[in-house]
Amino acid sequence: MKKQRRFAAGLALWGLVLLLAGCSGWSYQPPMRGNVSFAPYNLGKLRAAVPATPSTFTQALTSDYAGLASSLHDELRDWADADYFARKGLAAAGGEVVPPENNANWLVPLEVPNKFRTELAESRERLVAALDGGGRERLPLVAARAQVSYDCWVERMEDDWQTAADGPCHKQFLDALARLEGRPQPAAQPATGPGPAREFRVYFEFDKSDLLPEAQQILQQVAALAKQEPGLRIVLVGKADRAGSDAYNMRLSKRRADRVHDALLQRGVAAARIETRWVGEREPPVPTADGVREPRNRVVEITLH
């Protein structure tokens, strides 16, 4: 009889957990940002909701929030924030309007002397303007990447502002925002003399090597720079996320690098000026656990020297 009571109590407790998990929906100003206990449940639910080949803004937002939540959960062991962003991803998957983060809800360092909050607030205004100005429809994958990278930047500023102020999430956000606003990337302007390498990134859909529409504009910029600077060298590095085997991802990253290489040839860039290599899943821009679909790792990185 005691065993039966314990079993019934266990079922009741699990039922309460599931009920609370179902009620732990995302909110823009949550009283508790994330729930450590629900992180595995909500993250698993979100991973199951990620479409194989995101094509709309909502689908890409779902996929990118899954990548961010997975990184926070698996790599950084920040389970509360992983749960929070998993719930944002689930809200996007359910068709809800999910806005970018408000830095006022996070413990970002104060204004003096670095003006971090002003930078975050102004960047958010630009992001919202670009999204509302047709960015979601025109470049849905880039728009989603811009929003989730911004959220990642805000979250990292709370945890480690000294690294995050100019860290990977910030750089990913600036890269995506520049494309969303229809501007050349700041690092891609023609050099007036010897200077740092300039970088571009061409992203791909999951398990694909086809060039997306936004890639055409990027490759045109690279080809134009090559024509302006006869001594310019172009290095391509194909990459893949960690979904699939190492051997398969190596082949996939090669196909991606080859596709970008061929597209540059078609735009008049001499083959002798292009160096092409591929690394599969071994040098991911965004570290993730094995098996994680991370859109920012499905890329060919282009460096101009």
User: What is the average per-residue pLDDT within 244-253?
Assistant: 94
pLDDT on residue 194? 37
- What is the spatial distance between Cα 228 and Cα 73, in angstroms, rounded to a whole number? 45
- 283 with 207, same domain: the answer is yes
Q: Which tokens belong to 119?
A: 């930078």
Residue that finishes a domain, picked among 161, 180, 199: 180
Residue that finishes a domain, picked among 180, 203, 232: 180
- 91 with 228, same domain: the answer is no
Q: Which domain holds residue 36?
A: 27-180
Question: Residue 178 in contact with residue 155, Cβ under 8 Å?
Answer: no
pLDDT at 300 over 90: yes
- 169 with 284, same domain: the answer is no
pLDDT on residue 269? 95
> Do you know the residue count of the chain?
305
Query: What is the DSSP pairing of strand 234-238 with strand 299-304?
Result: antiparallel
Query: What is the DSSP pairing of strand 234-238 with strand 274-278?
Result: parallel
Tell me the chain's radius of gyration from C-alpha atoms. 21
Orientation of helix 168-180 relative to helix 213-228, angle to 10°: 90
Q: Show the CA angle centred on residue 103, arms to residues 162 and 144, nearest 5°.
A: 95
- 110 with 191, same domain: the answer is no
In our burial notation (b when 16+ CB lie closer than 10 A, e otherwise), range 181-195 reads eeebbebbeebeeee
User: What is the average per-residue pLDDT within 95-122?
Assistant: 88
The answer to whether residue 218 is domain-embedded is yes
Most confident of 52-56, 61-65, 129-133: 129-133
The answer to whether residue 21 is domain-embedded is no
**pLDDT tens, residue by residue, 188-241:** 333 333 334 577 888 888 899 998 877 887 888 899 888 888 888 999 999 999
Domain count for the chain: 2
- What is the spatial distance between Cα 36 and Cα 21, in angstroms, rounded to a whole number? 11
* pLDDT tier, 30 (very low <50, low <70, confident <90, very high otherwise): low
**Alpha carbon of residue 227 to chain centroid:** 31
- 274 with 228, same domain: the answer is yes
- 74 with 43, same domain: the answer is yes
pTM (two decimals): 0.60
Low-confidence winner among 140-149, 153-162, 170-179, 181-190 (lowest mean pLDDT): 181-190
- 85 with 229, same domain: the answer is no
As a three-state string, the secondary structure of 43-108 is HHHHHHHCCCCCCCHHHHHHHHHHHHHHHHHHHCCCHHHHHHHHHHHHHHHCCCCCCCCCHHHCCC
- 40 with 157, same domain: the answer is yes
* pLDDT tier, 251 (very low <50, low <70, confident <90, very high otherwise): very high
Of 176 and 302, which is predicted with more confidence?
302
Q: What is the mean pLDDT of the chain?
A: 82
pLDDT on residue 191? 33
168 preceded by a cis bond (ω within 30 of 0)? no
pLDDT on residue 187? 36
Closest CA to 107 of 148, 151, 69, 155: 155
pLDDT at 114 over 90: no
- What is the spatial distance between Cα 98 and Cα 5, in angstroms, rounded to a whole number? 43
Of 30 and 94, which is predicted with more confidence?
94
> In this prediction, what percent of the chain has a pLDDT beyond 70?
84
* pLDDT tier, 95 (very low <50, low <70, confident <90, very high otherwise): very high
Residue that finishes a domain, picked among 124, 149, 180: 180
